[in-house]
Amino acid sequence: MGNRGMEELIPLVNRLQDAFSSIGQACNLDLPQIAVVGGQSAGKSSVLENFVGRDFLPRGSGIVTRRPLVLQLISATAEWAEFLHCKGKKFTDFDEVRQEIESETDRVTGANKGISPVPINLRVCSPHVLNLTLIDLPGITKVPVGDQPADIEQQIRDMIMQFITRESCLILAVTPANTDLANSDALKLAKDVDPQGLRTIGVITKLDLMDEGTDARDVLENKLLPLRRGYIGVVNRSQKDIDGKKDIKAALEAERKFFLSHPSYRHIADKMGTPRLQKVLNQQLTNHIRDTLPAFRSKLQSQLLALDKEAEEYRGYRPDDPSRKTKQLLQMVQQFSVDFEKRIEGSGDQVDTVELSGGAKINRIFHERFPFELVKMECDEKEMRREISYAIKNIHGIRTGLFTPDMAFEAIVKKQIIKLKEPCVKCVDMVIQELINTVRQCSNKLECYPTLREETERIVTSHIRDRESRAKDQVLLLIDIQVSYINTNHEDFIGFANAQQRSSQTNKSQSSAGNQVIRKGWLTINNISIMKGGAKEYWFVLTAESLSWFKDDEEKEKKYMLPLDNLKVRDVEKSFMSSKHIFCIFNTESRNVYKDNRTLELACDSQDDVDSWKSSLLRAGVYPEKTTTVESETTSTTDNFSMDPQLERKVETIRNLVDSYMAIVNKCIRDLIPKTIMHLMITNVKEFINAELLAQLYSAGDQNALMDESQEQAQRRDEVLRTHQALKEALAIIGDISTSTVTVPLPPPVDTSWVGGSSGGRRSPPPSPTAPRRMSSGQRPTPRGAPPPPNRPGPLGPFNNSADSPQAPSRPNRAPPSIPSRRPPPSPTRQVPP
């Protein structure tokens, strides 16, 4: 086959691929693509076929390749081909592959020379190839034919540029030997995307079709029109050879004979031909692989270290060993207990950085959600005064009372205390839900034993539910205790004597606390019109008197300050297109809150943030809105209600007394309820897990059944062991690649300023003194007896084809001069025989 130049690297890369294929992973060495660029009928497809060693591409005159062909070569034990557009169908006859390429091309472009940038993807598996991607591109043309558009040249150029602009793409710039090299479109495109010449290799085809007496010796020796990586000459099969079914192996032998027998090329025959081109590309691939090996090796070593401990545990694993199951059960229960306690009490390891959970969430419930629920139960001021006045009148009955009745105070206070039962029970429910979530999170580590996980969750959750009723009974008992005796002798209670002074004291305390900051944080103002920039995020500062927002958290540029007088909070339904949670602030007197807006819509990232901000606003005196029904009933009743001055004084006195006493009750409830829940629920559950869970598991059923591992765990164990072994093999293979391959240094740069300009006005470099040369039509040959002009060799690097070639006997040794700054002319087109 034709891939002899790559045979040294194939076994090593294949071993690496096999090591990873055994564990279902890909070996991501990221080998480069190879794009073949050139004019029409330059021999691009023939060069590409030589890499595969098969005759499978369409042939003919004019533009034959009319769609890019992305050819993926995969090293395999068998040889077959598969197209992406008919996936699953394997082609073993490569004549059928050619017919399919032609049919698929005609299907998209038509049968009249049309082109399309839509690529055909072909995968070829063979034991004679490396894992490479080769790209056969349409030939560069200038004159449209058939159905081709007028801008055919630009379209093909854009199509080619899509591929060769990638840094991992090697460019084979193919130019026929019987055309002017200086005007090569392939070299011009390569120079545009690779000005340093790091990934461009010149390929000269059709050397056997040059005019008699002419040759491309100076070009192939990289002396005329030099490239950094030089040129490689190839001789492809002629159309007669293709029609006669001449195989590629025979064609390579004929190519070898041509270079050995030709007088101008025999001294560089070892530097020419398809095997040499494959070897050069192989060296480039080897360099690329060696460059990627350090990072690849480090990645494999880190994966190996991560699996070492787990693989060691699995190596001597016996699933049916009873002693192992007993030991594993004890370890799992102990680990579950430790994880639960860490999540509740807090720990430095296994910290959740995404959201609050466990003890932090319960702490937030105790100190933000529960106070928020308590404050929400406070009734409207007008409704409170109405109830107090009715209580006073009903207590006096038919008589007109001279004094303020303390029974009215007790009736109102008891009613307010009873309302606290709902938020207290809700607090218990929220803590229970968080405890159950914590149990589920801790049981995730038991997923390899599904029966054990289910039993653990069931036992602990059942115990939490049993404790729920006791906790709620105790909470309700605390409320009933508060209702049973109204302690008007409490040291913090203002008493009747001081009730009249309560209003003035409250006003003074509020004014002194007006500048106290209650909360700071980022909020999004959601109802800014699109014309004014749409929703924006600001830094908000909430005090007892105002809500201000700034451009950023440095608080230097204040955008607005909103007084809190007559403001309330209302929930806003989350919109379908928005991921944020929204609430709004509005004025109870139907005034604009912010500029021309009746409401100020504020958005947070989560519902917890919304609840936290609403709790802070409650502390500042901004209460949530009542439901519409309650408001309308209250308004209609209040509108018909009036008080005489004497009754109004009594109502004010009792109102202040109720405020004072409810502050005492709220303070007591806010302190006792979290303590009660902590004792009866959280601490008890921790003690149950530590002391009773293992015994409950033993009594629940068969111990061996509890420790039956899941199918996923068995697969995980096998996968870990296979991956660990594959990683060790891969690291050993990488060591072989590092020691068995040699890095080829990059050739030095050359002057490639000749690429991309016209040939007019350029001076032609002198020809070789002995070898036949191609000359322009107006150039005279050098007389035989005249001294030869100095030659102008380019700098020769490892890829330059005359670096280690023997000199012809008649060519004297010369020191290579530096490259002149003048631009050399194109290759001449005609030779005068000597």
Q: Which residues contact 491 (CB under 8 A, 6 or more apart)?
A: none
CATH of the domain spanning 338-502+645-707, picked from 2.60.40.420, 1.20.120.1240, 3.40.50.1110, 1.10.10.10: 1.20.120.1240
> How many CA atoms within 13 Å lie on the side-chain side of 20?
15
Q: Which two tokens stand for residue 412?
A: 């109102």
Looking at the predicted structure, is the pLDDT value of residue 246 above 60? yes
Average pLDDT on 413-429 reads 90
Among 272, 263, 221, CA closest to 834: 263
Gyration radius (Cα) of the chain, Å: 44
Looking at the predicted structure, is the pLDDT value of residue 716 above 80? no
* pLDDT confidence bin for 447, thresholds 50/70/90: confident
Which one is predicted more confidently, 315 or 582? 582
In tens, the pLDDT along 625-662 reads 765 444 444 444 444 455 566 677 777 777 778 888 88
How far apart are alpha carbons 341 and 253 in whole angstroms? 78
pLDDT for position 682: 92
CB 600 within 8 A of CB 584: yes
Among 114, 113, 116, 117, CA closest to 162: 117
Q: Find how far residue 284's CA is from the centre of its chain.
A: 31
Q: Identify residue 65 by its one-letter amino acid code.
A: T
Looking at the predicted structure, is the pLDDT value of residue 30 above 80? no
Percentage above 90 pLDDT, the chain: 8
What HEC string does 487-511 produce?
CCCCCCCCHHHHHCCHHHHHHHHHH
How far apart are alpha carbons 219 and 751 in whole angstroms? 14
Q: List beta partners, residue 519.
A: 542
pLDDT for position 642: 52
pLDDT for position 677: 93
Percentage above 70 pLDDT, the chain: 71
In tens, the pLDDT along 615-624 reads 888 878 888 8
How far apart are alpha carbons 416 and 663 in whole angstroms? 11
Average pLDDT on 562-572 reads 86
Which one is predicted more confidently, 355 or 537? 537
Question: What ranges in 346-397 are assigned the alpha helix state H?
Answer: 359-364, 370-376, 381-396
Lowest pLDDT segment from 238-242, 321-325, 730-734, 826-830: 826-830
Among 697, 159, 181, 158, CA closest to 463: 697
pLDDT for position 683: 92
Rounded to 5°, the CA angle 416-421-426 comes to 135
Most confident of 112-116, 264-268, 375-379, 507-511: 264-268
pLDDT for position 704: 67
Number of H helices, E strands in the chain: 25, 16
* Burial group, residue 223, by CB count within 10 angstroms (0-12, 13-18, 19+): buried
In tens, the pLDDT along 304-318 reads 888 887 777 676 666
Looking at the predicted structure, is the pLDDT value of residue 115 above 60? yes
3-state secondary structure at position 120? strand
Looking at the predicted structure, is the pLDDT value of residue 675 above 90? yes
Average pLDDT on 741-768 reads 56
Rounded to 5°, the CA angle 126-127-130 comes to 80
Boundaries of every domain in the chain: 33-284, 338-502+645-707, 516-624
Fold match, 33-284 / 338-502+645-707: no
Element (H, E) at 49: helix 44-52
How far apart are alpha carbons 439 and 694 in whole angstroms? 15
Q: List beta partners, residue 583.
A: 571, 602
Rounded to 5°, the CA angle 207-208-213 comes to 90
3-state secondary structure at position 763? coil
* pLDDT confidence bin for 684, thresholds 50/70/90: very high
pLDDT for position 282: 72
If you count them, how many residues does the chain have? 834
Average pLDDT on 728-744 reads 68
Among 97, 2, 1, CA closest to 56: 97
Residue with tokens 């002396």: 223
Please, what is the average pLDDT of the chain? 75
* pLDDT confidence bin for 790, thresholds 50/70/90: very low
Lowest pLDDT segment from 59-63, 93-97, 602-606: 59-63
How far apart are alpha carbons 67 and 45 in whole angstroms? 13
* pLDDT confidence bin for 833, thresholds 50/70/90: very low
Computed from CA positions of residues 93, 94, 96, 100, in that sequence, does the dihedral angle turn out positive or negative? positive
Lowest pLDDT segment from 59-63, 189-193, 306-310, 699-703: 59-63
Interior/surface letters 528-544, b for 16+ CB within 10 angstroms, e for the rest: beeeeeeeeebbbbbbb
Strands annotated E in 526-557: 536-543, 546-550
How far apart are alpha carbons 489 and 500 in whole angstroms? 18
pTM of the model: 0.47
Name the class of domain 516-624: mainly beta
Looking at the predicted structure, is the pLDDT value of residue 800 above 80? no
pLDDT for position 632: 42
Most confident of 352-356, 440-444, 769-773: 440-444
How far apart are alpha carbons 148 and 825 in whole angstroms? 33
How far apart are alpha carbons 160 and 66 in whole angstroms? 12
Among 191, 193, 260, CA closest to 228: 191
Residue with tokens 């290579």: 816
* pLDDT confidence bin for 827, thresholds 50/70/90: very low
Residue 217 is classified by DSSP as: H
Among 709, 707, 688, CA closest to 698: 707
Lowest pLDDT segment from 70-74, 483-487, 551-555: 70-74
Looking at the predicted structure, is the pLDDT value of residue 272 above 70? yes
Q: Which two tokens stand for residue 436?
A: 């159950």
> How many CA atoms within 13 Å lie on the side-chain side of 502?
21
Q: Identify residue 299 by its one-letter amino acid code.
A: K
Looking at the predicted structure, is the pLDDT value of residue 248 above 60? yes
CB 754 within 8 A of CB 222: no
Lowest pLDDT segment from 76-90, 346-360, 399-413, 771-785: 771-785
CATH homologous superfamily of 33-284 equals P-loop containing nucleotide triphosphate hydrolases (3.40.50.300)
How far apart are alpha carbons 171 and 190 in whole angstroms? 7
Average pLDDT on 308-335 reads 75
Q: Which residues contact 640 (CB under 8 A, 6 or more apart)?
A: none
Q: Which two tokens stand for residue 746?
A: 């990059």
Q: List beta partners, residue 136.
A: 36, 69
Q: Which two tokens stand for residue 192?
A: 């545009």
* pLDDT confidence bin for 781, thresholds 50/70/90: very low
Residue with tokens 């280690």: 804
Other C-beta atoms lying within 10 Å of the C-beta of residue 244:
9
How far apart are alpha carbons 668 and 657 in whole angstroms? 17
* pLDDT confidence bin for 460, thresholds 50/70/90: very high
* Burial group, residue 138, by CB count within 10 angstroms (0-12, 13-18, 19+): buried
pLDDT for position 56: 79
Element (H, E) at 220: helix 217-220
How far apart are alpha carbons 620 and 254 in whole angstroms? 95
Taking each helix axis as running N to C, give the angle between helix 645-677 and helix 381-396, from 0 to 180 degrees, rounded to the nearest 10: 110
